[in-house]
A and B are shown apart, each in its own frame.
Chain A
């Protein structure tokens, strides 16, 4: 399932080629191939157990594939360690929350921001000396729930900006483990954005959000993509997926069974069968040719014809700033 490479086409941020993963005798992924282009939101949908999270783990380096390859731009990252992938600009969130629960929301983001600081850059030790204390922000305690990295540092200011960007104004001082699921998901998103990703993998970010919050999340993702970031979104909220995705891949039993624009996916009988249990006419195998045509449409979207309005970045977020 390799999309055609046009001369003027934007290079794919992520290229997954023929990836397979087996757990014992069970094939979690068989021959999965997909591409994610810059400036697009790409959906990855499928029933529970289809292999979506496994694919995310393969892309982010938490799971080694048995076969196939993963490229970030032109770099083969198939065997690269997760932290090196992150330094190339690949960030992710998790289906089940993976926050640093002992730290505050602000510190969670700062850990992401400071991942570029090398051990010999001991400047940060200097910041642990006491300085003049600023007034507590809303939501912070007066007793010294301060950021250990030093008050007023660039990291603190940037983390505040990132938290503001995902709607967590004034909550930087709250301990992450004490936050509700919805808020914690936003902290996780802010932390992922902190590394300045070129590719953002989001694993069910809308889970636990109400309607208004989902709408706000959708706006944020569209703005991120408009700023040039590539977003790969796993989500069960079909309204959210169909509303913001430029292109959608459908995964079932570890294989891509359909790919196309939201409208094409909505009408695809294989997708309907996978989701609703209805069988399409005959035992049709995934039409890889159709998928390829769909990816040409994706290419068109990425080169600028598919989005309304001028690109806007999220407040406090500079997409594409990966190291």
Chain B
């Protein structure tokens, strides 16, 4: 009985920590309509700052808290709202997701530079000692976390439902113009929301830091709040009381499962199940959510869609690309760059290019954000290595099929919901697969999975040149297929779904089916890329498919252009080159890049001034379109009258 009570208190404490972070998410979402993926990273920075001040420099705890929470978090929150988020008003739905992800990788990158991961850092309790209650010893620190979380939830509830400012904070997302008419500044309200959200994240980070008995870890602290995401979703990202209760419930459940269920499982499963729990909770939360109704967005996509190459053009371009790659294979044979042969790096570029193409399909065309394409790569490489002894065509097919199936399973629970939830589901999936599957030596092997090179009767791809040309051929085929899909009826549907889901449904098209189909195709492509990546590297390691590199690569594709084949290739090329030159700076490049690109949905390649200098963009097309657009305003309709409105 005393064990049960002990587990209960610890579970409530854990849940209280999640609750603080989750309510911060809710506050930010309620006041700005943005789900802050950097919430965990802000908490991580706060935890490390707390260690720096209190442990390393012996600053009094209260002073440290004032510096971190009152000064640091509030200024950072106001800065992020003013500089990063405000200019995204009216941008496409995936853009705030990308920018907050960019912020996350910047913060984790900075943390890695400031606080070397090789140093062990532990944070002590703010209040030492225990007290006895109902027959068990309870740490004062636990009581502090529970008390602070409760006070925060009550305080926020009172603010949001009992004050004029609170009403304005809640109303600002629904109708900023009405808020302005009532005398409040919508921008100011959003800024308050971001400040509060950052303060909650920092508070959660500081309080939970002491529970990290093995020391502070940048990635672990950043991802600690995934359970908080589940709680925020149960609260439907708007209800603070429900979010708080859900967070405490999740904390309890997590602790009960760890202490009562896991001991009865084979020991080899324990670490996997432990790390998978937040994802399981998140999935349960997603499945239990009621369907959201389709809203007419009432705005027209104003971005000009990139021109889609015709069938002949893509065939010719693919042929030229392959010939250039062949020439590169001759020139760079046996040449090394930073310790790796150029052709191996080239093979990696091509495989990542296929992952980029899958992102073009799923995010660029249909507008759904997937953060787990690297996870599919990892699964694909694993399947490739295990089927028919590795290095077989059957393995390629199996990798593609398995990943397509897994992709459909991930997309299914979220099709009734807003696209944000798919991004969250893929985030949780990437986290769980990275920590629970790829790093498990029982499954993935301590030295990674041996994939080997593809061998066909009478044909071998053992040499780097042959392997490079083979994966290049796959990249060209994948690019051709993506363009063929875009030109097809299905591709047109993807773009239509992205532009207006409400109109899409009311012309008789099934949103759910389209979403699952495109997600499954993209997952299959990423699985194929993973299998090919395995043949290039011959052995894939446990850290090759981490969540952070996966997110950074998504940002690279977005920066170049997530709507074009060229963007996918250039993203892969720059990612691989930068990874060779300065691996720890990748996150900073990606984060700063996505912030600079801001709301430009077309990325670097979509910028008009740059398009004019691209050899593969047809000259004059833009001018013709401009003229056509100008002439529309005076075109007659119904054969009579003219109009200039619009």
B301 an interface residue at 8 Å Cβ cutoff? yes
A75–B505 alpha-carbon span in the complex (Å): 19
B487-528, CB < 8 A from A? 487-493, 495-496, 498-500, 502-511, 513, 517
A141 an interface residue at 8 Å Cβ cutoff? yes
Among residues of A, the one whose C-beta sits closest to the C-beta of B489 is A124
A114 an interface residue at 8 Å Cβ cutoff? yes
A198 an interface residue at 8 Å Cβ cutoff? no
Residues of A within 8 A of B621 (CB): 141, 143
Q: Which of A100, A124, A180, A186 contacts B488 (CB 8 A)?
A: A124
B624 touches A141 (CB 8 A): yes
Residues of A within 8 A of B645 (CB): 180-182, 208-210
Which of A26-34, A167-175, A281-289 lies at the binding interface?
A167-175
B293 an interface residue at 8 Å Cβ cutoff? yes
Q: Which of B302, B310, B496, B629 contacts A100 (CB 8 A)?
A: B496
B296-310, CB < 8 A from A? 296-305, 307-308, 310
A111 touches B492 (CB 8 A): yes
A176 an interface residue at 8 Å Cβ cutoff? yes
A179-213, CB < 8 A from B? 179-184, 186, 188, 191-192, 194-195, 208-213
Residues of A within 8 A of B638 (CB): 166-167, 212-213, 216-217, 219-220
B618 an interface residue at 8 Å Cβ cutoff? yes
B507 touches A112 (CB 8 A): yes
- Bitwise interface map of A from 149 to 172 toward B, beta carbon under 8 Å scored 1, else 0: 100000000000000001111010
Within the complex, the shortest CB–CB distance from B415 to chain A, in Å, comes to 11
Residues of A within 8 A of B489 (CB): 114, 117, 124, 127, 149
Within the complex, the shortest CB–CB distance from B438 to chain A, in Å, comes to 33
Residues of B within 8 A of A94 (CB): 296, 298, 502-503
A82–B293 alpha-carbon span in the complex (Å): 10
Among residues of B, the one whose C-beta sits closest to the C-beta of A99 is B300
B236 an interface residue at 8 Å Cβ cutoff? no
A139 an interface residue at 8 Å Cβ cutoff? yes
A148 touches B491 (CB 8 A): yes
Within the complex, the shortest CB–CB distance from A105 to chain B, in Å, comes to 10
B294 touches A62 (CB 8 A): yes
B90 an interface residue at 8 Å Cβ cutoff? no
A103 an interface residue at 8 Å Cβ cutoff? yes
A115 touches B293 (CB 8 A): no
A123–B172 alpha-carbon span in the complex (Å): 48
B628 an interface residue at 8 Å Cβ cutoff? yes
B625 touches A100 (CB 8 A): no
Residues of A within 8 A of B297 (CB): 98
Among residues of A, the one whose C-beta sits closest to the C-beta of B631 is A139
Q: How many residues of A contact B (CB 8 A)?
A: 83
B646 touches A195 (CB 8 A): no
B632 touches A180 (CB 8 A): yes
Within the complex, the shortest CB–CB distance from A175 to chain B, in Å, comes to 6
Most buried by A among B308, B487, B505, B507: B507
B305 touches A87 (CB 8 A): no
A220–B638 alpha-carbon span in the complex (Å): 9
Residues of A within 8 A of B133 (CB): none
A81-115, CB < 8 A from B? 81-83, 85-87, 91-92, 94-103, 107-108, 110-112, 114-115
B298 touches A111 (CB 8 A): no
A96–B298 alpha-carbon span in the complex (Å): 5
Residues of A within 8 A of B302 (CB): 101, 177
A252–B628 alpha-carbon span in the complex (Å): 43
Q: Which of A87, A96, A102, A127 contacts B301 (CB 8 A)?
A: A102
Most buried by B among A124, A173, A180: A180
A262-321, CB < 8 A from B? none
A148 touches B629 (CB 8 A): no
Among residues of A, the one whose C-beta sits closest to the C-beta of B633 is A180
B305 touches A144 (CB 8 A): no
B266 an interface residue at 8 Å Cβ cutoff? no
Within the complex, the shortest CB–CB distance from B505 to chain A, in Å, comes to 4
A111 touches B496 (CB 8 A): yes
Q: Are A115 and B508 CB-contacts (below 8 A) given A62-B293, A182-B645, A210-B643? A: yes
A312–B42 alpha-carbon span in the complex (Å): 66
B496 touches A148 (CB 8 A): no
B492 touches A110 (CB 8 A): yes
Among residues of A, the one whose C-beta sits closest to the C-beta of B624 is A141
Residues of B within 8 A of A114 (CB): 489, 492-493
A61 an interface residue at 8 Å Cβ cutoff? yes
A41–B100 alpha-carbon span in the complex (Å): 50
Residues of A within 8 A of B183 (CB): none
- Bitwise interface map of B from 631 to 646 toward A, beta carbon under 8 Å scored 1, else 0: 1110111111101111
- Bitwise interface map of B from 281 to 321 toward A, beta carbon under 8 Å scored 1, else 0: 00000000000011111111111110110111100000000
A60 an interface residue at 8 Å Cβ cutoff? yes
A71–B442 alpha-carbon span in the complex (Å): 58
Residues of A within 8 A of B76 (CB): none
Q: Are A182 and B508 CB-contacts (below 8 A) given A96-B296, A128-B488? A: no
A238 an interface residue at 8 Å Cβ cutoff? no
Among residues of B, the one whose C-beta sits closest to the C-beta of A169 is B639
A148 touches B308 (CB 8 A): yes
A178 touches B310 (CB 8 A): no
A97–B489 alpha-carbon span in the complex (Å): 23
B641 touches A112 (CB 8 A): no
A63–B632 alpha-carbon span in the complex (Å): 35
A142 touches B496 (CB 8 A): no
Residues of B within 8 A of A52 (CB): none
Among residues of A, the one whose C-beta sits closest to the C-beta of B634 is A180
A195–B505 alpha-carbon span in the complex (Å): 12
Within the complex, the shortest CB–CB distance from B219 to chain A, in Å, comes to 37
A125 an interface residue at 8 Å Cβ cutoff? yes
Residues of A within 8 A of B307 (CB): 143-145
Q: Are A103 and B305 CB-contacts (below 8 A) given A129-B311, A143-B620, A168-B637? A: yes
Among residues of B, the one whose C-beta sits closest to the C-beta of A63 is B293
B486 an interface residue at 8 Å Cβ cutoff? yes
A261 an interface residue at 8 Å Cβ cutoff? no
A116 an interface residue at 8 Å Cβ cutoff? yes
B632 touches A103 (CB 8 A): no
B484 an interface residue at 8 Å Cβ cutoff? yes
Could you list 9 A-B pairs, sorted by A, with CB under 8 Å? A83-B505, A91-B506, A119-B517, A141-B621, A146-B310, A174-B629, A183-B632, A191-B507, A213-B641
Closest 4 interchain pairs by CB?
A180-B646, A212-B641, A101-B301, A216-B638
Q: Given A119-B517, A141-B624, A183-B643, 8 more contacts at CB 8 Å? A: A94-B296, A96-B296, A98-B500, A99-B499, A101-B300, A103-B496, A178-B628, A192-B507
Q: Which residues of A contact B (CB under 8 A)?
A: 57, 60-64, 81-83, 85-87, 91-92, 94-103, 107-108, 110-112, 114-117, 119, 124-125, 127-130, 139, 141-146, 148-149, 166-169, 171, 173-184, 186, 188, 191-192, 194-195, 208-213, 216-217, 219-220, 323
